Structures are given as structure tokens and as C-alpha cells.
Chain A
Amino acid sequence: MAYSEKVLDHYENPRNVGSFGKEEEGVATGMVGAPACGDVMKLQIKVGKDGVIEDAKFKTYGCGSAIASSSLVTEWVKGKTIDQALEIKNTQIAEELALPPVKIHCSILAEDAIKAAVADYKKKHTE
């Protein structure tokens, strides 16, 4: 399968790979997908006291497009408030990476990962 240059770039040089300590202040985690489906994404955000995402990290089990999609959203969420982050849509991700139709589910998964991470943050901070 031919990949776009942007997918290849993120795949070869993934941004923000890694994990935060689970107990770190302001850290929330979104884990989506399933091994049986061939994709698992873990997106972590680190939110400052002002509600702005200061940093993000990811790890992804999946194809090149899945890795690129999650790498891209770690870049995009940084500097956004958690509500702004929720506005990132899978279509924007797919467009930016020029994903072919069979890989659209990778961008959907990346959007879901943001939602899951934000939901985790809100859960931790309303208690």
C-alpha cells in the first residue's frame, strides 16, 4: 500500500512517543481500540491548572496510518484547552495525512482517543 509523505514522516519520526507517570499531576489517559482489531492507541495529556494541555504523549499498536494519526494529534492538542481539543475531528486528521478510505478508521480512533483522554481528565477532576 502506498502511504502519503506525511504518514511516512510521522511513522519514521513519531512525535511525542512515551508515557507520563500515572500519578503525575494533571495527567489523563485515553486508551481506545482492541488488539483483536489490530489497533490500540494510548493517548495521554498533561493539563495545566488553567485547563490548557501542556504536553501530550502516545503509544500505538497498529498500522502506519494509526501510528501517524496518533502522532499527529499529540501535536495538535498541545496548547489547546480540553474543550478546544474535543473540537478536533477525524476528517481533519484524515485530510492532513491524506489517508485512503480503508484507513479512515485510524483517524476515527485518534479522535476517540482524544475524547477518552478528556473524559478521563474530567472524571478525575470532578471528584
Chain B
Amino acid sequence: MLKLPIYLDYSATTPVDPRVAEKMIPYLVEKFGNPASRSHAFGWEAEAAVEEAREEVARLVNADPKEIVWTSGATESDNLAIKGAVHFYSSKGKHVITVKTEHKAVLDTCRELERQGFEVTYLDVQENGLIDLDTFKAALRHDTILVSVMFVNNEIGVIQPIEEIGEICREKGIIFHVDAAQATGKVDIDLGKLKVDLMSFSAHKTYGPKGIGALYVRRKPRVRLESQMHGGGHERGFRSGTLPTHQIVGMGEAFRIAREEMAVENKRIGALRDRLLKGLSDIDHVFVNGDLEHRIPHNLNVSFAYVEGESMLMAIKDLAVSSGSACTSASLEPSYVLRALGRDDELAHSSIRFTLGRFNTEEEVDYAIKLLREKIGKLRELSPLWEMVQEGVDLNTVQWAAH
């Protein structure tokens, strides 16, 4: 039996995998010790669990466990990485490069750096959402100290050329930070090969609990950070605060499952995504936002031209999807990511993000296709723009009374 509403918003968050939840529970009840307690077995037991989880996180990305620092999530990791590195290396320069389509956790952190007197270049992306490497190279300055580029975009799912950017940064001795919140379990990450110095992770995008994340801090060559959270000197001074053992255990288990199952899972999810795309592709004026090739298999972001996104969401309330990203959906602004692709405002207002995941089925996708086809027809009947286009009017030639 189909259960409604259908969850198609896995890039906003994922449910905790039942196997993960099961592993977490004992650390709330019986094994409650503080991993920093060195004087008794309760502490030792908790510390062992934390270190086992650290190994699992490191294994997924082929890093050394000593390079993993626990944080409260990717937002904190981004803040620690960017502010921490820029403050530490501020004697070397004051220029930072990032991208217009980054997550707000990176963009707002960079804005804060600008207020502190640093200079930030926000790179444009190409129409497909990807960075042009020549544009990137041209933006580099002799005083550039940090580059921050996300691995996978949260709205359109495109995969940035991290390997190439890493090579360029390493050659020039620039610290390279990557927000990989949307990448774990979706793309192969090999930090043995990638010349990345700092990488942010989140548990809850990969079937782990909310409120826990990690920052990878490279040891060879060593990257230094100024800590942002002061206190008991936990996590080798990078991030003070009592470690939440149960959350950490959950993240470790979630990342273990991701490592073992991602190859098979991504094929299955990719087939579902393709099925969804195929089911919508013969509707007139439907546009996929972002490159389809360099993209995770979980994401489909489409604009249904001449139908406004919010009214579309209302019409398809049996589907839990988002228009823009969850972080901006409370505002009336169209997605800044789609604007950065050069999509005109009308199409940016008409976009819906579908993100599929571990627990979606073919039956759910088929239901979604049927519902979408029906509602698009209804909303277009209601749309004056659709009517004008049917009459052959070019909307770009119309003199709109902007308000």
C-alpha cells in the first residue's frame, strides 16, 4: 500500500536508518559515559565507541581517523574550516575564493569574513551549474589563502571538478576546503588522491542523526586552524565540548552502511530518478536545471515553465518536495542557485527539486509522475503566461508592470 505523503526530499534530510538507530540507543541508556572520562570503565567504553566511529567516517573517504574532528554538523564544519584557516593564515594573504552556488553556511561565513576585512571572490558558474576552470584560475591572486567549493550542490545535485581544483590549489599552496555534506554515500571520495585540505561532513544527509558532523583536517601536508569553540580542549583543541557519544556512534554506523552499500544503492536510485525524468520528459516546456551527466543519481531539479513553484507545491501536497532549497523556501525570493545558472526569473520561480533516497520505490515514483502530469495541466489552464505562449506571444517582448 502506498503511504502518503511520499518523501522525495532526501537532500533536505534523511530518516535515520533503523540499523543506525538501533546502534545508537545503548549509548543513551547504559553506555552513557563521557568519552573524556579517563578514570573508569564508563569513559573507556564511550571513548572506544567514539574512536570506532571515527574510523568508519575516515574509511568512507579514505582518510586517517586522526584527521577527523567531530562537530555539530556541516554548518559548524564550514565555519570552523573557513574562519579557522583564514584566521590562522591571515599573515599570508586576505583573499578567499568561493562560488555563487555554495550553501549559505559557506556564503554567509564568507560575508562575515568580508566584514572583518578579508576580500572574497564569488565565482559565477556555467549554465550547467559547473565551475569553469579557466574562470577559476583567472580569479586566483597572489594573496589568495583559501578556496571553498562544494562537492555536490544541494539544489541541483551537480558534482564540481574537485580533483582539478585541488591540483591547482596545491600547486599554489592555497588551502582548499570542500563542503561534502551532499556527497557522502553518493559519490566516491578518496582523500588519498584528492588534494583537499579541509572537508565538511554531515550525518543527517546520509541516514545518520541530526546534530552531528565532522571536519576532515589534513595532516600531510599539515593544515592549521584557529579553533572557533573554546573550552576543555577536546578534539585536540580544534573543537571543545563534550562529545555526544550516541550521535557519533550513529554517524559512524551511517557512514559504514554508506561505504558498504553505496555502489548498489546508487544504481537503484539512479534508475528511479531516470524513471521520474522519463515520466515527465514529454510534457511541454519542462527544463532540467543543472548538468545531467556530472550529477548525483539522487537529484532531479526541473522547471515547469509558466507554473509558479509555490502553487505547484500546493497542488502536489502528496509529494514532499521543495521549491528552491529548504533553507530559502520560507522566503519569496526565487532560488539564487538557479539564478546563478542564468535561468530567467520566471523559470527560477517554477523549479521543483526532487531528491530520491534509500526508501523510495518504483510505485512511489509512478504515483508522483501521474500526480504531476495531472496538476501541471490544471495549473497551466490557470496561467495567463501559458495562454499567451499558446497564442504565440513572446513573453520577453511584453512590457510588464513590475511591482
Q: Which residues of A contact B (CB under 8 A)?
A: 1, 3, 11, 14, 17, 19, 31-42, 59-64, 66-67, 102, 105, 108-109, 112, 116
Interface footprint category on B:
20 to 34
- B310 interface neighbour in A32, A59, A63, Cβ under 8 Å: A63
In contact, B311 and A34 (Cβ under 8 angstroms): no
In contact, B400 and A35 (Cβ under 8 angstroms): yes
Can you list, as one digit per residue, whether each of B256-300 has a CB less than 8 Å from chain A (1) or not (0)?
000000000000000000000000000000000000000000000
A35-B345, A36-B346 known; A102 vs B332 contact (CB < 8 Å): yes
Cα(A59)–Cα(B345), bound, Å: 20
Which residues of chain A are near B308, meaning CB under 8 Å? 38-39, 61-63, 66
Q: Which of B337-383 contact A (CB under 8 A)?
A: 344-346, 349, 381-383
Which residues of chain A are near B385, meaning CB under 8 Å? 35, 40, 61
The 8 closest A-B pairs by CB, nearest first: A34-B400, A35-B346, A36-B345, A42-B384, A63-B310, A59-B384, A38-B349, A34-B402
In contact, B401 and A33 (Cβ under 8 angstroms): yes
A14-B382, A42-B384, A59-B384 known; A67 vs B311 contact (CB < 8 Å): yes
CB of B395 closer than 8 Å to a CB of A: yes
In contact, B311 and A63 (Cβ under 8 angstroms): yes
Cα(A42)–Cα(B349), bound, Å: 18
* Contacts beyond the supplied A36-B345, A61-B382: 8 A-B pairs with Cβ under 8 Å: A37-B403, A61-B306, A61-B386, A67-B311, A108-B403, A109-B403, A112-B403, A116-B401
In contact, A11 and B402 (Cβ under 8 angstroms): no
Write 19 A-B pairs (CB below 8 A) sorted by A numbering. Answer: A1-B310, A1-B330, A19-B387, A31-B401, A33-B403, A34-B400, A34-B401, A34-B402, A34-B403, A35-B349, A36-B345, A36-B346, A38-B345, A39-B308, A41-B384, A59-B383, A59-B384, A64-B311, A112-B403
In contact, A37 and B384 (Cβ under 8 angstroms): no
Cα(A101)–Cα(B61), bound, Å: 46
CB of B307 closer than 8 Å to a CB of A: yes
Cα(A102)–Cα(B308), bound, Å: 16
Which residues of chain A are near B395, meaning CB under 8 Å? 35
Least distance between B306 CB and chain A CB atoms (Å):
6
In contact, A60 and B310 (Cβ under 8 angstroms): no
Least distance between B402 CB and chain A CB atoms (Å):
5
CB of B314 closer than 8 Å to a CB of A: yes
In contact, B400 and A61 (Cβ under 8 angstroms): no
Can you list, as one digit per residue, whether each of B198-239 has a CB less than 8 Å from chain A (1) or not (0)?
000000000000000000000000000000000000000000
Which residues of chain A are near B400, meaning CB under 8 Å? 33-36, 40
CB of B334 closer than 8 Å to a CB of A: yes
Which residues of chain B are near A40, meaning CB under 8 Å? 384-385, 400
Which residues of chain B are near A108, meaning CB under 8 Å? 403
Cα(A122)–Cα(B332), bound, Å: 34
Least distance between B260 CB and chain A CB atoms (Å):
40
Cα(A109)–Cα(B402), bound, Å: 11
- A32 interface neighbour in B307, B314, B403, Cβ under 8 Å: B403
In contact, B311 and A62 (Cβ under 8 angstroms): yes
